[in-house]
Amino acid sequence: MDVLVKQVDLLLVRHGTTRWNREKRYLGHTDIPLDPGGRDELAPLARELAGKAFHRVYCSDLARCRETLAIISSAHADTAMYDPRLREMDFGAWEGHTYEQLQHEPLYRQWIDSPQQVTPPGGESWADFAGRVDGFIDSLLMDVEGACSSEAAHSRSQRPEGKDPESQVQPEMLIVAHGGVLRQLAVRLVPRLSFWDVHVQPGSLLRIRLSFSEETGGWNGMLGNEA
């Protein structure tokens, strides 16, 4: 029997650089735009993604991500799903401050050592941050199932007789978000990956290939350079 492998490629893009990024200030829910250099640095990625037709496009609703999407994939800017669950962690009273400004505060030192156990004053707990990202992942995996189903139907109708189903191009989804969010997405989707193992510079792309496991009945991810 002809079996189609269930796989989807996720393209995770971190927004371009803002003034606060350059000044190494904590930037969570504060809604500031890219700086001129941040817009310029997206040009290579825009060329790389030119002409791609994504099955779905997801984007944080904050300005720096919206602006990034408009530059790297303008054709999808009007149809993207702008989701507040993709916002960076809210750093509360520490928003806009630098390490040098905060380093002598005892609570900040505790947070640096144990971010899962300490919450920034007026900010977001790690549990709340991880919980909303998990909620997005649940929605994402439902869309992934739909993408695989539609791709399977299309492939059966278009594939020449005798063509290997595994040779078909995998559907792709684009996610434009923030550094912490992309790290958390990768940790949840790729087995044996830790939060600090993931490095995504502003304006850069991380590819994850999701494959459905019949053995576990779930989806497992693999980083692009390993796929």
**Average pLDDT for the chain:** 90
- Residue 139: per-residue pLDDT: 95
- Residue 1: per-residue pLDDT: 35
- Residue 150: per-residue pLDDT: 66
Q: How confident is the model at residue 56 (pLDDT cuts 50, 70, 90)?
A: very high
- Residue 36: per-residue pLDDT: 97
Rounded distance, CA 86 to CA 84, Å?
Answer: 5
The whole-number average pLDDT for the span 9-31 is 98
Is the pLDDT at 146 greater than 60? The verdict is: yes
- Could you tell me if 166 and 58 are in contact, meaning their C-beta atoms sit under 8 angstroms apart? no
The whole-number average pLDDT for the span 66-71 is 98
Q: How confident is the model at residue 5 (pLDDT cuts 50, 70, 90)?
A: low
Is the pLDDT at 108 greater than 90? The verdict is: yes
Q: Give me 180's structure tokens.
A: 């912490």
* Surface-to-core class of residue 113, CB atoms within 10 Å of its CB (0-12 exposed, 13-18 middle, 19+ buried): exposed
What single string gives the DSSP state of each residue in 154-187?
A: HHHHHSPTT--GGGSPPPEEEEEE-HHHHHHHHH
- Assign domain 7-226 to a CATH class: alpha beta
Q: Residue 219: enclosing H or E segment and its boundaries?
A: strand 218-223
Higher pLDDT: 213 or 167? It is 213
169-206 confidence digits (pLDDT tens): 689 999 999 999 999 999 999 999 999 889 999 999 99
Q: Where in the chain are the domains?
A: 7-226
Q: Give me 137's structure tokens.
A: 């992942």
The whole-number average pLDDT for the span 122-133 is 98
